[in-house]
Every structure is written in C-alpha cells, then in structure tokens.
Amino acid sequence: MTAEIIDITTDREKALERACAVLANGFPVAIPTETVYGLAADATNPAAITRIYETKGRPRFNPLICHMADLAMAERYAVFDPVSRKLAETFWPGPLTLILPLRSESGIHSLATAGLDTVGIRLPRGFAADLIRAYGKPLAAPSANTSGGVSPTSARHVADDLGDKLKLVIDGGAAPVGVESTILRVEGGAIRLLRPGGVAAAEIETATGLTVIRPEGPAAIIEAPGMLASHYAPGASVRLNADHVEPGEVLIRLGAVPVKGIEQAAAIFDLSPSGDLAEAAANLFDYLKRADATGATRIAVTPIPGHGLGEAINDRLARAAAPRK
C-alpha cells in the first residue's frame, strides 16, 4: 500500500470527503494539526483504533487523545470542572489537552482510553477541526510516527515513515506550533502539568490565576505512560547542553551562541537565529530529522532557555537523549 497524499491548499473539499470515507471504513488517516501531524481514527470504532496501535507499533496501555470539533461535542464525552472549563474556553481550539473524567456510555471505545476512567481531550485548529465536524464523531489521534520516533511536522515526514502502511495522508503544510499539546489534569481545583507543550505554563497561570504544579520526577507522570521511556529518538544519539562540537557531530543550536570547535561540525542547524522559542519549537522535529539524515552518529545541541516554549523543547530533547532500550 502507498498512501494517497492530498494537499488541502488545492483540494480541501476532496481531502475532507476522502478522509471521511476512509474513517468511515475503519481506517486511520494522517492529518495536519497545529501541533504535529496526527494519525486519526474514529474514537468509537475498536477496529479503527486497533489499526492506529498497529500502524505505530504503540503499546496498547498508552491511551490516545480524543479530538473534538467544539466544546459542546467535548461535553458529551467528558465531565468538566470549573477550572477545566475556563482552560477550555481560553485555549481551545489550540495546543492544550485536558485529562477529564469520561462520561459513562460516552461511546468512546475503551481501546482509545486504554481502559482508564478518564479521557484526554483536545480541540485542534484548522483542517482537523473541519474534518471532525464533517465526520461528526471524535477522532482518536496520536502523533503520526512510529512509536518512540520523532513526531512529524510535515506530510513528507509522515509519508517517509508510515506511507506504505497508510491509505491517506492529508498535506496541510508545516505544522505551525511544532511540538505536541500541553497536557493538564485538574484535580481538587489544582492544575497538574503532565506534559509541557504548545501552551506555555506561564500562559496557563496568567489565564487562571493558579500555579501550575509540575511533577517532581519522571515517576510522577506515570499517568502519561508514553512519556516515560526514551521517546522522540532520532537514529543518531543526542548530546545536550553542548558548548563545543566533537569531530563528526552535527550541531543544532539556538541563535549565535559561542560554540567551541564549531568548524568541526558535519552540519549546523539553527533553530531560530534570533533566539525566538516559538520559532525554535516549530523547527525542532524537522531539524532533528534533518540532522539525523546527514548520517552523523551524534547530534550536539546547545542549551535552550527553560521559559515559555523552552520547557516543551527541553522536555522533548531530554527524551530524545534518554538511554534507549
């Protein structure tokens, strides 16, 4: 099988029609979202969800985010507390996922939630939202990449990785945010950060007046099991906080920071010449893939500030650099 690729800039209506048909037949479709490309399937259809896990090689204990068209649709599947509703009203549609109690007999299949009594919900922007509206049911969608690998931010990334396993890839251009959604869970009125992402913690604190509670260590985020192991891993190994380049390394840097031995770098990628963290996030996965494609065995990365989207960038880099199985 080789995936059909439809570009929404020229064939948006056809893309919606074809995607709805493939979804209705119980197959996943790779779709653009503002964060990363998703591998979307009907969240109420167990055969379709099984195909997501198979296509990615993803462990089935790792639940999927269910994507909704609007808040009214989300309320049919999950129960909102006041803080979660405020977050939804402020940041949706956008790169925020809320973990919420699942309504009983909601119709979302337990394969999508990995049997949990909660569900991760997000309202995406753009084509993805239009598709959910046209299809009429929530779409379960993880990132459209082989489990453990770097997430795709273009249709080309998806086609290179999974093209021979998919029927349809929708091309919506480069994903503007570039890192996955921020995942939050509200409990007892307190906001816990399960995964940093496209909405910075400071924005959440400003919107709610509440402090975002970060997990104390990796063990604390067991609720998001996909986040524990080595993840986002390119083929090359990754060396963080580099202040120098070793022979044969590719360099990923942020702006014109001084780097010793830079002339030895096999290639240099600058996440944002002006040091802008939103631009850096948008380029991160593409540059990791490009650095990998040079064939270098190691990627050295200069320090990234921790504020704003830097928290999500550092989270993904730490997982890319984590010891592999």
Binding site for ligand TXA (CB under 6 A): 33, 35-36, 38, 62-65, 95, 97, 99, 113, 116, 118-120, 122, 141-143, 180-181, 183, 223-227
Q: Give me the least distance between CB of 146 and ligand TXA, in Å please.
A: 12
Q: Give me the least distance between CB of 14 and ligand TXA, in Å please.
A: 22
By CB under 5 A, residue 97 contacts Mg ion: no
Q: How far apart are CA 304 and CA 325, in angstroms?
A: 26
Q: Which one of 45, 55, 143, 154 is in contact with Mg ion (CB under 5 A)?
A: 143
Q: Give me the least distance between CB of 147 and Mg ion, in Å please.
A: 8
Q: Give me the least distance between CB of 2 and Mg ion, in Å please.
A: 23
Residue ranges in 153-192 that form contacts with Mg ion under rule CB under 5 A: none
Residue 195 C-beta-side C-alpha neighbours within 13 Å: 24
Q: Tell me 211's DSSP state.
A: P
Cβ burial, residue 143 (10 Å; 0-12/13-18/19+): buried
Exposed e or buried b per residue across 306-315, where buried means at least 16 C-beta atoms within 10 angstroms of its C-beta: eebbbbbbbb
Q: Which does 84 bind (CB under 5 to 8 A by kind): ligand TXA, Mg ion, none?
A: none
H-helix or E-strand spanning residue 315: helix 310-321
Q: Give me the least distance between CB of 31 and Mg ion, in Å please.
A: 14
Q: In terms of CB distance, is 184 or 238 closer to ligand TXA?
A: 184
Choose the stretch contacting Mg ion; rule: CB under 5 A; options: 44-52, 137-145, 184-192, 264-272.
137-145
Q: Which does 113 bind (CB under 5 to 8 A by kind): ligand TXA, Mg ion, none?
A: ligand TXA
CB 71 within 8 A of CB 123: yes
Q: How far apart are CA 296 and CA 267, in angstroms?
A: 9
The SS3 of residue 314 is helix
Interacting residues toward Mg ion by CB under 5 A: 143
